[in-house]
Structure 1
Amino acid sequence: MRRRGLEPMHDDHINVTPLIDVIMCLIIFFLVCGQLARDEGNDKVQIPRAQVGQELDEQRGRLLINVVPRERLAEADAAVAVNPDAEPAVYIRGERIGLDNLTAYLRKEKQETPDVKVILRADQDLVYDWISPVLVSCAQANIKSVNFSTRER
């Protein structure tokens, strides 16, 4: 009788193409999310601490307004002159908006997204006199939901 030998072993190759596709999608996802997070937040703002608060879960329809005092801008950029009476800088989506143009900007946002929710990130050292015009602009634009961003104690 003839002995049958072992069948020759075949080199099985693992198909890595789907793995590479998934990794590329994850890289693109994290790059886009990182860019959005960088545009939304403003690291020059030191938000105040609060003992009570509520997490906002829904991201749809929210508009983040950063109010940065001139002193913080001067720390980051030596070209900015420090004037204690100068109005703070207002940033929305990484774009600087003047207080005189803020109401028109918010009205346009309200037309595009009727149920827009404003989250106000004001610096903890900022006096209320500079937060008040932002709140007035929200009221003039008929925005009903305005929340203050705080940190946990």
Structure 2
Amino acid sequence: MSAVDAALVLANRVTKLGICGNVPALLVHERPSSVWHVTHHCPQGMAFPDLNAMMITDGTSNQEINHNALQKNDKKQREVVRKRGPSIERKTQRLGRRGKICVLLYQWPVTGIWRQTVCCPDAKALPDLNALLELHEGIPFELRARPKI
């Protein structure tokens, strides 16, 4: 599987995480044409933090708290993020080394803390994500219905 294919698979997983958990989730990566590609789920127009203002060192980041994050998340949604978030983060780190993903950002609904996975080999400045979202024309993502047993 090529890095671009792996990025698209991961983008679907991030979108599913955002929809199921009703949390802001964002995947930004650079395609070979150097065009920024954005996959996002941002319920009711919540703004993303400025990534360049967050401390990015060795794959870790400074964490910012958004106190408005906890209002609409129930126990089931928090459980979805608790289970899926770390595995998506690990997959992003692996894909980042292969496909030059720049950042995956999602919000942990239990605490409202932004979690960030970074692999930016050229130490480039990251774009303004809120401006990118205004330009992004995404295809609606539909969850597949699971058959009942």
Q: TM-score w.r.t. structure 1 length? A: 0.29
Report which of the two structures shows the higher radius of gyration computed on alpha carbons: 1
